[in-house]
Amino acid sequence: MPEVNIVNVVKKFGDFTALHGVNMKVESGEYVSIVGPSGCGKTTLLRIIAGIIPPTKGEIFFDDRLMNDVPVEERGIGYVFQNIALFPHMNLWDNVSYGLKVRGKPYDETHSVTLEMLELMKLTERYRDFPHELSGGMQQKAAVARALATGTSLLLLDEPLSMLDAKVREKLRYELRKIVKDLDLTAIHVTHDQEEAIAISDRIFIMRRGEIVEYGNPIDLYLSPRKIFTSYFLGESNVLEGIVIDRKSDEVEVQIGNISLKAYGEGFQKDERVVVIFRPELARLEPGGSMRIVERSIEKGYYRYILKDKSQKFIVKTFEKFDIDGKMNLRIPKEYVRVYKYPERGLNNEIALR
Amino acid sequence: MPEIQLRGVWKRYENILALRDINLKIEDGDYVCILGPTGSGKTTLLKIIAGLVHPTKGKVYIDGREVTGLPPERRGAVYMHQTYALFPHMTVYENVAYGLRARGLDEETVRERVEEVLRLVNLDGWEDAYPRQLSGGMQQRVALSRVLVTGDKIVLLDEPLGALDARLRLLVRDELKRLKQELDLTVVHVTHDQSEAMAISDRIILLREGSIIQDASPEESYFRPTDVFPASFIGDRNLLEAKVVRVDGEGAWVQFKGGEEVYGKGGPFETGDLAVVSIRCEEVKIIDEKSSIPAIIVDVSFLGSYVKYYLRTEGGTLLESNTSLQEYLCRRYHVGDKVYLKLGEIQLFTYPRRGLMREVEAI
């Protein structure tokens, strides 16, 4: 069972540096995702792990074995592509058993492994169907079955769900994680979709501009990230500029437009410009303030409100229903509010999605 | 008043029936989403409104005037393709100006209109940049500018957010809504993503296999699905098979295979009928008091703004409970915990002819 260790990997394409010295360690049996905006280098990193492209500098280890010079077909990995790459002229059975046959496995083994994989994916009944007779979700499951049939314990997934309908994606990501866990595999899954990363992984590596911004388990990254970008990228956040108006030992009060919020935080000065962040679903609304509801929609069981106070915009998600144009007050416990130093190169640069 | 109307529209491609008897009216100023799974006919429907596809049967009206035989450019409606390709060798300004110049407008007017539109989408200052220098979101706004600059009040968008990263989509949703309001547009937007449709539209037209299955506001679609398919496609629901044991008032008492009995609204049913029980995942509550539904936690998924508990009742019924992040932070349950459930609003549907699994799987 492979532990994957990526040491100081640099990748240059001509003048363009796609990866600036990336370090990453994936434990055996872990489901890890690499998530980030388009062009952040995540697919390049995955291809380097697979051996599809070589790094410019740095080392790749599987279980302490240096893999840099090991060709892709000898790395013992299963690779699943974004574009479902089944052979269109072969039925499901032949697609899944293909890798076994090519490797010259005996008939009995090929037969039993193929059957096992199809059963695992709940596709046994469809074994004679051709790819075009299967739904997109089934096709992608078949692609995973084919990748696993060769007996790999390291599964590399490059945006495996992004070609599927949103609803299918939600179902399949749960199944995918379950299969990886049941078979005790190690998985590295690349996606641009922060929701998918949160749902599917034990740990998330967030990338931007060829670097890893932050990594950790989904809950910690979602609730208490060290970086502003992490909070902004992993689902909606209120990311607001404010001024410290008061501070006590471990507490600060920050003025944001017309409202002030308290938070835990140390090392801030009075009148310092800061960034305040809170999750929309951790705030509450009460009638009777200076914020006006300008929009309301339904999202995952919550009502999602956009509120305006002068030029300041807030997002709040709550179960309570209020009318558009209603004047509101926002309340949030201070343990859910996070305060950050104002970034040197400006807030817009800090949260830019590229 | 740009109102769109379709009457008895059918579309057949050789041996595939893409649309069957579509009747609908889109009011001036509406933001309508056409929602459905792949292959449900939603793009065909949009292209028929745009004039890019001709219906096999039926009529299309815009502004009360029949346009069925008219070419796209004479309908006062502008269509944005799923893969909006910008001209890579042209600047932002030239990309947006292209269509106007092709119409033979003088350079002065072109400049005025391009500048106005770029201001509107917050791209002023980027006139001289080339597409490759822009982020995905900015490119998308350039594509949108090309559409808006035509001045047409009906805007037809085919999966306009499909090419964007998930996080960016959330931002552009709000942007589209704002533009619609500021420019007083009528927008028809095709998507397979129910949360996108819920977030952005005033009205959702749900398609399946070429037919309109439900046509309602997002709120109504979410809380009052009319059948098993809309219930499975919009929102997040438990859909379970059960047997009607007693008809009562506006609904019935039904029994799960595991033995639990619950009351739901819907019907008409007769005792002994199979029914589909529909419970929104956020209506499955884990409570502290004892209840008639003891269960065990079999899995927990943290999903950001909420947490999903996978539960198995004593009788063996599998249920999912979506719990808000606030509740989760106050009280966390773990795999193996024994809990009690309270079920909120329950809707009952007639059992589908092709079976529940098939009906839901067809998504």
pLDDT digits (tens, 9 = 90+) for B243-302: 999 999 999 999 999 899 999 999 899 999 999 999 999 999 999 889 889 999 999 999
Helix, strand or coil, per DSSP, at residue A342? coil
Q: Give the pLDDT band of residue B220 (cuts 50, 70, 90).
A: very high
Q: How near does any CA of chain A get to the CA of B195, in Å?
A: 7
* A199 and A249 assigned to the same domain: no
For residues A60 and A69, give the distance between their C-alpha atoms in angstroms, rounded to a whole number. 10
Task: Determine whether the interchain pair B305/A235 forms a contact, defined as Cβ–Cβ distance below 8 Å.
Answer: yes
* A227 and A318 assigned to the same domain: no
- pLDDT tens digits along A240-281: 999 999 998 899 999 998 899 999 999 999 999 999 999 999
* A169 and A91 assigned to the same domain: yes
Q: Retrieve residue A175's tokens.
A: 């199944």
* B160 and B175 assigned to the same domain: yes
Any idea what the CATH number is for the domain that residue A282 is in? 2.40.50.140
pLDDT at residue B41 in the model = 95
Nearest to A165 among B192, B198, B218 (CB): B192
Among A232, A253, A279, which residue terminates a domain? A232
For residues A188 and A2, give the distance between their C-alpha atoms in angstroms, rounded to a whole number. 12
What is the number of domains present in chain A?
2
* A209 and A268 assigned to the same domain: no
- Choosing among A173, A229, A297, which should be mutated to test the B contact, i.e. which has the most B CBs within 10 A? A297
* A219 and A86 assigned to the same domain: yes
pLDDT over 90 at B311, yes or no:
yes
* B204 and B245 assigned to the same domain: no
Q: How near does any CA of chain A get to the CA of B244, in Å?
A: 28
In this complex, how many residue pairs, one in chain A and one in chain B, have their CB atoms less than 8 Å apart? 112
pLDDT at residue B1 in the model = 58
Residue B131 neighbours by CB under 8 Å, 6+ apart: B86, B87, B88, B90, B92, B95, B139, B142
SS3 content of chain A, % helix, strand, coil (to 5): 30, 35, 35
Q: In this structure, what are the phi and psi dihedrals at residue A75, rounded to the nearest 5 degrees?
A: -85, -10
Task: Determine whether the interchain pair A192/B137 forms a contact, defined as Cβ–Cβ distance below 8 Å.
Answer: no
Task: Determine whether the interchain pair B305/A279 forms a contact, defined as Cβ–Cβ distance below 8 Å.
Answer: yes
* B186 and B232 assigned to the same domain: no
Nearest to A38 among B165, B193, B361 (CB): B165
pLDDT at residue A336 in the model = 96
Nearest to A167 among B199, B233, B302 (CB): B233
Helix, strand or coil, per DSSP, at residue B208? strand
Helix H or strand E segment including B19: strand B16-26
pLDDT over 80 at B363, yes or no:
no
Q: Give the pLDDT band of residue A127 (cuts 50, 70, 90).
A: very high
Q: Retrieve residue A165's tokens.
A: 């309908």
- pLDDT tens digits along A18-44: 999 999 999 999 999 999 998 899 999
* B181 and B233 assigned to the same domain: no
B37 and chain A: CB distance < 8 Å anywhere?
yes
pLDDT at residue A1 in the model = 53
Nearest CA in chain A to B173: A297
Q: Give the pLDDT band of residue A121 (cuts 50, 70, 90).
A: confident
Among B223, B248, B276, which residue terminates a domain? B223
A133 and chain B: CB distance < 8 Å anywhere?
no
Helix ranges restricted to H, A121-201: 136-149, 166-182, 194-200
Could you tell me how far CA B350 lies from the centroid of its own chain? 24
* B83 and B173 assigned to the same domain: yes
Residue A188: name the closest of A142, A162, A155 by CA.
Answer: A155
Task: Determine whether the interchain pair A165/B280 forms a contact, defined as Cβ–Cβ distance below 8 Å.
Answer: no
Q: Retrieve residue A148's tokens.
A: 């696993």
Among left, alpha and beta (phi > 0; psi -120 to 50; other), residue B267 is left
Q: Retrieve residue B203's tokens.
A: 């009205």
Among B223, B243, B274, which residue terminates a domain? B223
* A315 and A291 assigned to the same domain: yes
For residues A47 and A54, give the distance between their C-alpha atoms in angstroms, rounded to a whole number. 8
On chain B, the residues whose CB falls within 8 A of the CB of A193 are 165-166
What is the number of domains present in chain B?
2
Nearest to B38 among A136, A192, A298 (CB): A136
* B196 and B272 assigned to the same domain: no
Q: Among all chains, which residue has been given the structure tokens 């579509």?
A: B22
For residues B77 and B80, give the distance between their C-alpha atoms in angstroms, rounded to a whole number. 10
Q: How near does any CA of chain B get to the CA of A46, in Å?
A: 18
- pLDDT tens digits along B96-127: 999 888 888 899 999 999 998 998 888 888 99
Q: How near does any CA of chain B get to the CA of A235, in Å?
A: 7
* A165 and A254 assigned to the same domain: no
Nearest CA in chain A to B221: A298
- Domain encompassing residue A130: 4-232
Residue B340 · residue B294 · CB < 8 Å: yes
* B165 and B79 assigned to the same domain: yes
**Sequence letter at residue B295:** A
Residue A234: name the closest of A201, A187, A274 by CA.
Answer: A201
B194 and chain A: CB distance < 8 Å anywhere?
yes
* B303 and B160 assigned to the same domain: no
Q: Chain A 246-305, CB below 8 Å of chain B: which residues?
A: 279-282, 295, 297-302, 304
Helix H or strand E segment including A6: strand A4-13
* B101 and B124 assigned to the same domain: yes
Among A232, A254, A280, which residue terminates a domain? A232
**Range of weakest confidence among A286-295, B19-28, B119-128, B185-194:** B119-128
* A257 and A168 assigned to the same domain: no
Q: In this structure, what are the phi and psi dihedrals at residue B127, rounded to the nearest 5 degrees?
A: -50, -40
pLDDT over 70 at A13, yes or no:
yes
On chain A, the residues whose CB falls within 8 A of the CB of B200 are 297
Nearest CA in chain B to A178: B299
* A194 and A81 assigned to the same domain: yes
* B47 and B170 assigned to the same domain: yes
B192 and chain A: CB distance < 8 Å anywhere?
yes
Average pLDDT over residues B307-334: 96
Nearest CA in chain A to B137: A353
Task: Determine whether the interchain pair B304/A222 forms a contact, defined as Cβ–Cβ distance below 8 Å.
Answer: yes
User: Does ipTM surpass 0.90 in this model?
Assistant: yes
* A323 and A189 assigned to the same domain: no
Q: How many CB atoms lie within 10 A of CB A1?
A: 12
The number of residues making up chain A comes to 354
* B176 and B255 assigned to the same domain: no
pLDDT over 70 at A113, yes or no:
yes
Q: Give the pLDDT band of residue B168 (cuts 50, 70, 90).
A: confident
Q: How near does any CA of chain A get to the CA of B44, in Å?
A: 17
* B85 and B203 assigned to the same domain: yes
A168 and chain B: CB distance < 8 Å anywhere?
yes
On chain A, the residues whose CB falls within 8 A of the CB of B326 are 281-282
DSSP at A55: -
Q: How near does any CA of chain B get to the CA of A41, in Å?
A: 14
Any idea what the CATH number is for the domain that residue B32 is in? 3.40.50.300
Q: Retrieve residue B286's tokens.
A: 């884990």
For residues B309 and B312, give the distance between their C-alpha atoms in angstroms, rounded to a whole number. 10
Among A174, A203, A232, which residue terminates a domain? A232
Helix ranges restricted to H, chain B: 42-50, 92-102, 107-120, 136-148, 166-183, 194-200, 218-223, 228-233, 325-330, 356-361
Q: Among all chains, which residue has been given the structure tokens 């390049």?
A: A44
Q: Chain A 46-85, CB below 8 Å of chain B: which residues?
A: none
Nearest to B199 among A167, A194, A299 (CB): A299
The number of residues making up chain B comes to 363
Burial of A132 (0-12, 13-18, 19+ CB in 10 A): exposed
Describe the crossing of helices B107-120 and B136-148 by its angle, rounded to 10 degrees: 130
Q: Mean pLDDT across chain A, nearest whole number?
A: 93
- pLDDT tens digits along A198-227: 999 999 999 999 999 999 999 999 999 999
- Domain encompassing residue B14: 4-223
Q: How near does any CA of chain A get to the CA of B301, in Å?
A: 6
Q: Mean pLDDT across chain B, nearest whole number?
A: 93
